[in-house]
Amino acid sequence: MWISFVLLFGLVFHRLNCGYDRNNAATGIKLSTNDELSVSASNAFLNFGVVINPFNSSTKDIHKHCNVGYMSPDYFVHSIAVIGAANNGTNRKLFMFAFAAEITTKSTLFICLVTVSRSTCNAQHQMTVLHSADKPQNYFLIGVDSHATFVYGFTSTMAFKLEIATNQIVQKLTLETLWPSIIFLPHAFSVSDQWAVVVGYSLKHNSEKKNYAIMECLIDLVSLISYSCETLIVESTYLVPSNLLSYNERYEVSVAIRDENVLVGIHRLNTIVILKKNQTSLTKTHVYTVTSSSLTSFGRLVGWVDERTIAVVAYHSLYSPWSQSQIFFYDKNSVSSTSPLYTFPNNQQTIGNQLFQPHFVRLVITNNGNLALLTDYSLVIIVPVAPINHASMWVEPSAAAFVFYYSPMPCIGGTFKNESGLGPCTVCLPGTRNRGIAYSEGTSCISCSRNNSNSYCSLAALVEFDLNTMTSHSQVTAYPESADTTNFDDILLENMFQTDSNFSCMIISPFFWTIIAGAFAFSVWIMMAVIKLGKWEQCNRYRTWIKTILIHTDLIREGQRWVGGLATIAIIILVSFACWFCASFLKRYPIEEIFEPVNFACDSTLINAKFSTGLDLLAIPKSTDAQRIINLLDNQIFNITVELINTGFTCESISVQENLIGIQYANLIPSCERSEWNAVTSITFALPYHYATIQLNMTGPHWANAVRVCLRGESQIILNTILHVLDFCQLFSAPNQTLAHASKIPFTITKIINITKSMEKTRPITYSGLWLSSVHGALLFNEAFYTEFGNYLRYTFALTTIRITFDERSFYIKNIQEPIVRTRETVFQALLFTSLVIELFGFSFLLVKLLILPIIRRILAICHKYPVETQSFN
């Protein structure tokens, strides 16, 4: 007795739970929608979700949703077909839908017409029993023609036609009668006005191999006869009959009709087929097979957006964080893994967390192009067509419900949309801009003026940006090289006797003024000679007085010759310039304290310094002073500023983290500023340590045209050690591109230590240090990625990241600066130069005395002798 009871209970439990999977929303047609009514069925909750005017959110005819319970818990609903407003659409207070169901305890199939009151949500049911089956149905499909006159249906054994007005079965026949030459298993069904398409698996009656094929059949709805049946795909893969006879997700197919076009999806083969209706048959126009590592089950659901655009659902896309399914929208003439026009969801049309990354198990696109989706948890998503310059975006629900709405909203900054549709707004083309809905410029992209050659109006621009306002710069300059001459003797002689045709150089040239002094001395000598030869007694007194003065100033002949006094004037001028040069040259050290050009020599870059540069390893032990500057550099705090240029990202959408080991990270607290007038968002934060890896996370449907990264640090002075300010900025921009969704900026930092020796050797050496920052191999723009893998990916990433890494060199740059000449050496060199000048002038007098004067005397003697000889001859 107990054994019989247990067996009976097990049989009933198996029949109720295994034969009827109440949680599987993918089987049958659990969602049906037109432009005025949407109905979904949940066998798990034993109710229908009804939405009246689902796509209309106007105040006059706002949508309303409610639940209509099953009449009995024994009902198992297979399919739904909405009819719309009652009485052929004239009664806007009553709405109708039909459902095909089964009484689980009896396996009795029936169809029911339901009339729902808009005001009260009360429902009236009109049930029509079809027949009792010997086992649960796996496929029970129904549909309503476009005139809402008849309900058509298919079970695993029969087809029927029910008149809606009278609730009468007007025609019913077995599948063997409808398809006498084949065994046909309907899996998908789509209805037009007077014809329909059934897609399933077929087997010829006389086939011995039992190999099924995927087939489409064109049905005449007027007489309910089959026009033609054609094989869609010839497969080499063997189909398991048991998987076809029972429900199996892998063997599902989908079909949709638009005008005279038919779209069939075969997701097991990742294939879609487009057919064109002729008189009594369907002709293949396109067959597309899409394979990609990121897509599976391509074609699980299909639909027509309009006459040219199709929608195809695929599972497990790697690029969507909002759902496990993704809808790809294509031009019917171009279908590939890289050619979608757009996808849903995307970074503008997200799905809220309430849906828990759903699968889409049913897709319906209405005649007006509106979209309704059913998820694997029997939740409904309503996406209306958005007008020009609008996109339908997620509306956060105010309360728990089974339906979630999208609402048309204006395009965000940097985007536009030139036609109505389901998709997102498109980025503004290069040379155009759109500040967004918060400004009076409108929502369409307008042309940039390009008045400035530095005007930056790239892809997805909000404003016309001037790159001159954000340039790259660094406080590090090239360390100077020593001059060709670093010997002070040579420098002094070169500058004392240098001549130049430049007027400004000539008036400070010692040699020029020496020549002037020489010319003056020669003039005085000529005047003295004229007075002597002319025997002007009245001028002899002045001549004697001048000679006395000149004799006392004679440095060459030690007061013996008045002519030496004249030369002394030139000597004094030349030596004075030399002293001026030496004193001024001493002050041209160190180079860090030189702010003005040279005014005492023709060479304006003249400095009293010589330089040497080399590399030294950080691992080598250092002196106390050298180690102090290294410690200051290691302890300098880096402040990073990231400026996103021409972007819609706001401070609220940006976070900063320090990446730790593996996937671990620590959040950083940045300061952020947003400038709306030039669309720049600036984020500043302190680097925890010099080897940290920082990541900026920017969420939202926005882009950035360019980015500037600045590295800054404060100065510090301890004794004779100076830590310089760190100020480095690097601008990254590319014409007609936006930042990649994952960017990398690798910083390379190197210590620079400047060693400045003092003018006096007894004083301490000055050590100064700063960081040399550079960026090599930054990856911020990947337009090639979109070109290679599809431009639609631009709208699929919810997160834009910039990762900043730091790498320090194991060596440092050592610059040594020391004076060419120090004070004592300069005094000595000036005395030597004075002595040299006196000796040079003395040598000049000696040369005149020994060479020039004898020649002059000889010439004068000849001149005196020649006239006498001439007179005697005469």
- What are the pLDDT digits (tens) for 69-103? 999 999 999 999 999 998 877 778 899 999 999 99
Q: Check pLDDT > 80 for residue 597.
A: no
Confidence at residue 553, expressed as pLDDT on a 0 to 100 scale? 60
Give the residue-averaged pLDDT of 644-657: 95
Q: How far, rounded to the nearest angstrom, does the alpha carbon of residue 113 sit from its chain's CA centroid?
A: 54
How does pLDDT run across 322-334, given as a tens digit for each residue?
999 999 999 999 9
How much of the chain, in percent, has pLDDT values that exceed 70? Answer: 85
How does pLDDT run across 189-218, given as a tens digit for each residue?
999 989 999 999 988 766 666 678 899 999
Give the residue-averaged pLDDT of 663-685: 94
Strands 261-266 and 271-277: antiparallel
The overall average pLDDT reported for the chain is 85
Q: Check pLDDT > 50 for residue 7.
A: no
Kindly report which listed range (347-351, 723-727, 759-763) carries the lowest average pLDDT score: 759-763
Alpha-carbon distance values, 246 to 19, 31, 265, 467, 597 (Å): 10, 21, 19, 66, 94
Q: Check pLDDT > 50 for residue 691.
A: yes
For 738-764, letters b (16+ CB in 10 Å) and e give bbbbbbebbbebbbbbbbbbbeeeeee
User: Residue 798 has which token pair?
Assistant: 């919810």
User: Residue 12 has which token pair?
Assistant: 């009933």
In the numeric block, the tokens 């609220």 are attached to 652
Give the residue-averaged pLDDT of 535-547: 62
Confidence at residue 544, expressed as pLDDT on a 0 to 100 scale? 64
In the numeric block, the tokens 């459902």 are attached to 99
User: Residue 53 has which token pair?
Assistant: 């005017």
Kindly report which listed range (92-96, 184-188, 262-266, 863-867) carries the lowest average pLDDT score: 863-867
- Per DSSP, the residues of 294-316 read TBEEEEEEEEESSSSEEEEEEE-
Residue 259: band (very low, low, confident or very high) from pLDDT cuts 50, 70, 90: very high
Is the torsion defined by CA of 621, 626, 627, 632 positive or negative? negative
Categorise residue 773: left if φ over 0, alpha if ψ from -120 to 50, beta otherwise.
Answer: beta
- Is the bond into 345 cis (omega within 30 degrees of 0)? yes
Confidence at residue 236, expressed as pLDDT on a 0 to 100 scale? 63
Q: Check pLDDT > 60 for residue 8.
A: no
CA distance 825 to 818: 14
How does pLDDT run across 554-575, given as a tens digit for each residue?
555 555 566 656 667 777 777 7
Confidence at residue 144, expressed as pLDDT on a 0 to 100 scale? 95
468: burial class by Cβ within 10 Å (0-12, 13-18, 19+)? exposed
Confidence at residue 226, expressed as pLDDT on a 0 to 100 scale? 92
Cβ atoms of 252 and 267 within 8 Å: the answer is yes
Kindly report which listed range (100-114, 814-828, 852-866) carries the lowest average pLDDT score: 852-866
Confidence at residue 584, expressed as pLDDT on a 0 to 100 scale? 82
Confidence at residue 95, expressed as pLDDT on a 0 to 100 scale? 94
Q: Name the 3-class secondary structure at 420.
A: coil
Confidence at residue 125, expressed as pLDDT on a 0 to 100 scale? 95
Confidence at residue 548, expressed as pLDDT on a 0 to 100 scale? 64
- The segment with the largest mean pLDDT, out of 239-248, 445-454, 772-781, is 772-781
How does pLDDT run across 822-844, given as a tens digit for each residue?
888 878 777 777 777 666 666 66
Kindly report which listed range (155-169, 260-274, 476-490) carries the lowest average pLDDT score: 476-490
